[in-house]
């Protein structure tokens, strides 16, 4: 049987052991310039939710290097849809961020008072176009920085080109996968939830669901809720006056519609996950509430959320959507399998991180092809449906071979930061691999040692025991 049609291990990649995350700076990479010798101070106002802001922070470091500037710790977005007034220091370990990047870019917590007092005008504020090339920053931003000493870049998300020099791509990886470490309070809760999940089973699946009313309305899709859904989402959609005219059928055929929770469950069962598998669901508000989630719960009775696993410990965080998203991020990053129903920022960022940390099984729905299969599923039996799903998901399961140059966003496919382990001949003439430090193990050693020591080892309370379930999907097929 050729590899293209060979059975896939649904829990881990057979070939991940041949690859590792690599983001070391090259010998010719220019080191950080000292603060007093830099071209000025760069202020960054990140935009969007936690993971959108994460891309902005990552690119801010790269832009600072390009401009030979001193970066001031980025300011997080307090005014967007997410309505979270958390600052950088509330979510990320700021001292670690500064020290870990010290060889790449000089980062300070604030512009020195002496510099601010010497300025004749307030900091110059500008917004650069999306996906700007490095030359844009050198031609348009640097002259202003040299004149004004302090420049603020606003709405800073995806403001740097996707394709950069390999050394700059590796700098992106050093920021995203090493420098951005969550604070101890956030990490502790994430690790506590992981510990409680793994007490129930050796491995688990994490599912990231984006199914909020605003997100569904923005998509222009239809999800089977009849006239009530059409009216409610139509009213919400009126908030955006510049959205193009479209039809739900057209958007679904284009693969632009997020999967429903039911479709996510069917996808997982079709791929071969039994209904006694543990599933951790990371989500915000779900349109339709428990009724929308019911089919997924029936397909996977061992269904858990952070609220179910750490309700008491989460209380200090309930008013902070970005900190809650960070906790979900930690659990989803650690899970054995990660699947998402959407193509949003968290899905992309986590997919890239899981590749870098060892190509852990990461399922990205092939929405364009799946839509046709789901639309016709009442016309076929379960076995036929499952085979069609498995076929269309080849190439979307998180395998190393999916890392083709130029595919997708760099944050999702960090090809410059994935290395293949070299082979060498051992003393007896057989092939052996050069010893490589396991990137995931190294990260955990740094990131989790102190956290695990602080974990509350108290027994879980009010958490239902895992169900042994049944493997009979036919009774749920028609739901």
- For the chain, residues classed under CATH 3.40.50.11340 are 35-179
Burial letters for 262-276: b for 16+ Cβ neighbours within 10 Å, e otherwise? bbbbbbbbbbebebe
pLDDT given for residue 81 in this prediction: 63
371-415 residue pLDDT tens: 999 999 999 999 999 999 999 999 999 999 998 777 889 999 999
pLDDT of residue 475: 44
CA 384 from centroid of its chain's CA atoms: 32
CA atoms within 13 A on the CB side of 7: 4
DSSP output for 262-311: HHHHHHHHHHT--TTSEEEEEES--TTHHHHHHHHHHH-SSEE-HHHHHT
Q: Which whole-number Å values give the CA distances from 339 to 58, 288, 354, 438, in the listed order?
A: 24, 21, 12, 24
Angle at 132 between CA 153 and CA 51, to 5 degrees: 65
- Tokens representing residue 130 in the block: 């999306």
Fold designation for 35-179: Rossmann fold (3.40.50)
DSSP single-letter state for residue 409: -
Residue 72 backbone dihedrals phi, psi, to 5 degrees: -90, 140
The percentage of residues in the chain with a pLDDT greater than 90, rounded to a whole number, is 79
**What is d(CA 449, CA 181) in angstroms, rounded to the nearest whole number?**
13
For residue 272, give both structure tokens.
Answer: 């071969």
Structure tokens at 97: 């961020």
- Integer Cα distance of 193 and 308 in angstroms: 10
> Which residues does 171 contact at the CB level (< 8 Å), separation at least 6?
23, 25, 29, 61, 62, 65, 104
Residue among 10, 1, 78, 15 nearest 355 (CA): 15
pLDDT value for 84: 86
Q: Which residues of the chain have pLDDT under 70?
A: 1-6, 80-82, 423-465, 467-479
3-state SS track over 25-70: CCCCCCCCCCHHHCCCEEEEEECCCHHHHHHHHHHHHHHHHHHCCE
Q: Using CA atoms in the order 327, 330, 335, 337, what is the torsion angle rounded to 10 degrees?
A: 90
Task: Please tell me what DSSP assigns to residue 392.
Answer: H
Q: For residues 473 and 382, is the Cβ–Cβ distance under 8 A?
A: yes
User: What does the pLDDT read at residue 423?
Assistant: 66
Cα–Cα distance for residue pair 299/475, rounded to 1 Å:
10
Question: Whole-angstrom Cα distance, residue 281 to residue 294?
Answer: 13
């Amino acid at each position: 049987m050729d590899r293209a049609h060979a059975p896939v291990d649904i829990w881990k990649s057979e070939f991940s052991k041949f690859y590792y995350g690599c983001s070391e700076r090259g010998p010719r990479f220019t080191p950080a310039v000292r603060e007093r010798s830099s071209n000025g101070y760069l202020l960054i106002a990140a935009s969007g939710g936690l993971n959108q802001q994460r891309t902005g922070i990552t690119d801010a470091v790269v832009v600072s290097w390009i401009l030979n500037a001193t970066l001031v710790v980025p300011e997080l977005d307090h005014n967007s849809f997410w309505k979270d007034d958390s600052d950088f220091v509330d979510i990320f370990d700021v001292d670690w961020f500064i020290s870990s990047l010290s060889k790449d870019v000089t980062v300070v917590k604030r512009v020195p008072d002496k510099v601010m007092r010497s300025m004749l005008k307030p900091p110059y504020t500008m917004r650069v176009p999306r996906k700007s090339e490095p030359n844009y920053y050198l031609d348009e931003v640097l002259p202003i920085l040299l004149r004004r000493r302090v420049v603020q870049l606003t709405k800073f998300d995806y403001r740097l080109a996707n394709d950069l020099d390999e050394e700059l791509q590796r700098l992106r990886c050093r920021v995203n996968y090493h420098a951005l470490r969550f604070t101890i309070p956030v990490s502790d809760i994430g690790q506590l939830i992981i510990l409680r999940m793994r007490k129930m089973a050796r491995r688990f699946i994490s599912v990231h669901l984006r199914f909020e009313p605003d997100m569904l309305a923005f998509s222009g899709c239809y999800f089977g809720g009849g006239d009530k859904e059409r009216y409610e989402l139509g009213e919400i959609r009126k908030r955006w006056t510049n959205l193009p005219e479209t039809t739900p059928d057209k958007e679904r055929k284009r693969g632009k519609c997020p999967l429903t929770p039911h479709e996510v469950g069917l996808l997982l069962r079709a791929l071969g996950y039994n209904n006694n598998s543990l599933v951790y669901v990371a989500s915000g508000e779900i349109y339709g509430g428990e009724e929308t989630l019911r089919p997924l719960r029936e397909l996977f009775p061992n269904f858990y959320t952070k609220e179910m696993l750490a309700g008491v410990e989460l209380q200090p965080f309930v008013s902070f959507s970005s900190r809650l998203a960070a906790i979900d991020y930690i659990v989803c990053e650690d899970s054995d399998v990660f699947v998402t129903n959407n193509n949003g920022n968290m899905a992309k960022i986590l997919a890239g991180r899981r590749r870098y940390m060892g190509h852990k099984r990461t399922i990205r729905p092939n929405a364009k092809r799946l839509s046709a299969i789901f639309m016709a599923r009442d016309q076929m039996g379960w076995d036929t449906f499952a085979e069609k799903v498995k076929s269309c998901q080849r190439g979307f399961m998180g395998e190393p071979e999916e890392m083709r140059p130029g595919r997708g966003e760099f944050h999702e496919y960090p090809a410059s930061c994935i290395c293949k382990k070299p082979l060498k001949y051992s003393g007896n003439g057989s092939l052996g691999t050069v010893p490589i430090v396991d990137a995931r193990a190294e990260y955990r050693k740094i990131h989790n040692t102190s956290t695990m020591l602080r974990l509350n080892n108290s027994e879980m309370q009010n958490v239902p025991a895992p169900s042994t379930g049944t493997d009979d999907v036919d009774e749920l097929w028609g739901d």
